[in-house]
A and B are shown apart, each in its own frame.
Chain A
Amino acid sequence: MTNRQVIAWAGFSLEVPVEWNLSVAHGDTDSGTIALTDLHMGQLEVRWRSGRPRSLARQLRRLVGKMRRLKATVSAVAGRESAWKIDDGRRWIILMHISRRLYEINGPGGAPAEAEIPASFTDTQNAELYRWRVYGIDAAVPAQWKLKKISLLPGASRLEFKPRWFSPPGLRAGSWSMADRLLEGDSLETWATAKLPLVARHPSGRWESLGKGVIFRVAAGRWRERKAQALALWQNRENNCIVWLHTSLPQRRSALTDRLVKAFLEEVASSGGQ
């Protein structure tokens, strides 16, 4: 097991020690905050705010000027444009303006990863699909979709997304820990058939294999089931978890379903899941 992990959220990603976990998350793709903590204390906070590029550049200049007046050490971040590091000994803050977003990354001074985190920070706000990666969850979601629900219970983490504010969730992504205990030697298909209500409720659904993952598809019906459903499952042996993605979209959007499932399986395969 490596000692670094990638956390991806709402159009950005960064590499942090594997012991850091998400403890606070709120907001959406326009503005929000996430905080990462280890067993002992808060280690990192990322805040973001969207706006017009010119207005954000002006805000950044004003903030940096204010910090200089407060006699904090302000320096440009090497290798990045419009990025400033402010350090007052006890804590550090990085202010970054990228495209239509202003980021504030801060953490306690002297943290071991202080120098590495800014270098690993990647902004993907202009991508069509945003990657969401946390607690074993790994999903690509259309950039405009809204995060509806976060459930990070021990053993079962889940994020729900919907295309618009008032629509039902179109995509759920999650992970179940302790895969070896859940599967007890069975294949994903056998286990899902026995344990997952979605699979048990739809005996007419069909299974497909794609790479090392399995997909369960239910076609849209005329009366009751008006949306086609797809459930992709993947066993990540390295982290001993089952990663899953469930889409529930109208049949006419089957191309999007296929794209999301394919992106999911490619991501879990590339992130070390086997």
Chain B
Amino acid sequence: MLKWLLGRSSSERERQDMLRAIPVQNPQVERTLLADGRLILRGPTRVDGLQRLVGRGSVLRQFEIDTLGDWVWQHCQGRLTVEELVRGFGGEHAVNLREAEISVVSFLNILAKRNLVAFVVGREKPVGSRRRRKR
């Protein structure tokens, strides 16, 4: 009998938490549409402890995204959970839900690694001003 039939495993709980998280754009990131039609996200890199110790500040870096990536980026306004984003992406582009999940979640992971989005976790929807962010 598979584990998932007997009870929810820790990885399944992590998956549930991930689906409930709300991606939020980094307000310091600028989205630019270039003359040749390319879309660029420009934002500061994250500064870790070692870099701070040696006095190195963050630098501006830019990332090119396509129209599908732009759809995800535009919807990271702190209103939709990852699950809602996945369902929206699947409906908008008529792709299978699993394909949408893999594409959206991996793209959000890339954005998070590059300090372009953060995730609000631990509550259904953001209310009030303070948000706990997990990077």
**What is the interface of chain A, defined by CB distance below 8 A to chain B?**
1, 18-19, 21, 23, 35, 37-42, 45, 90-91, 106-108, 135-136, 154-155, 177-178, 180-181, 239-240
Task: Give the size range of B's interface with the partner.
Answer: 20 to 34
Q: Are B1 and A106 in contact (CB under 8 A)?
A: yes
Report Cα–Cα, A91/B8, bound state, in Å.
13
Q: Are B4 and A177 in contact (CB under 8 A)?
A: no
Interface centre among A35, A136, A154, A178 (most CB of B within 10 A): A154
Interface centre among B1, B4, B93 (most CB of A within 10 A): B4
**What is the interface of chain B, defined by CB distance below 8 A to chain A?**
1-2, 4-6, 8, 12, 15-16, 19, 83, 86-87, 93-103
Q: Are B101 and A39 in contact (CB under 8 A)?
A: yes
Residues of the B chain whose Cβ atoms lie less than 8 Å from the Cβ of A155: 95, 99, 103
Lowest 6 CB-CB distances: which A-B pairs, in order?
Answer: A240-B94, A42-B4, A21-B98, A154-B99, A154-B102, A177-B95
Q: Are B5 and A39 in contact (CB under 8 A)?
A: no
Closest to B4 in A: A42
Residues of the A chain whose Cβ atoms lie less than 8 Å from the Cβ of B100: 154
Residues of the B chain whose Cβ atoms lie less than 8 Å from the Cβ of A177: 93, 95-96, 99
Q: Are B8 and A154 in contact (CB under 8 A)?
A: no
A109 to chain B, nearest CB (A): 9
Q: Are A108 and B97 in contact (CB under 8 A)?
A: no
Residues of the B chain whose Cβ atoms lie less than 8 Å from the Cβ of A180: 94
Report Cα–Cα, A246/B98, bound state, in Å.
25
Q: Are B5 and A91 in contact (CB under 8 A)?
A: yes
Q: Are A178 and B93 in contact (CB under 8 A)?
A: yes
Residue from A106, A135, A154, A240 within 8 A of B5 (CB atoms): A106
Residue from B4, B93, B102 within 8 A of A41 (CB atoms): B4
B26 to chain A, nearest CB (A): 26
B8 to chain A, nearest CB (A): 7
Q: Are A39 and B2 in contact (CB under 8 A)?
A: no
Residue from A39, A41, A107, A240 within 8 A of B97 (CB atoms): A39
Closest to A1 in B: B94
Report Cα–Cα, A220/B97, bound state, in Å.
40
Report Cα–Cα, A5/B35, bound state, in Å.
44
Report Cα–Cα, A107/B1, bound state, in Å.
10
Report Cα–Cα, A240/B123, bound state, in Å.
35
Report Cα–Cα, A18/B98, bound state, in Å.
11
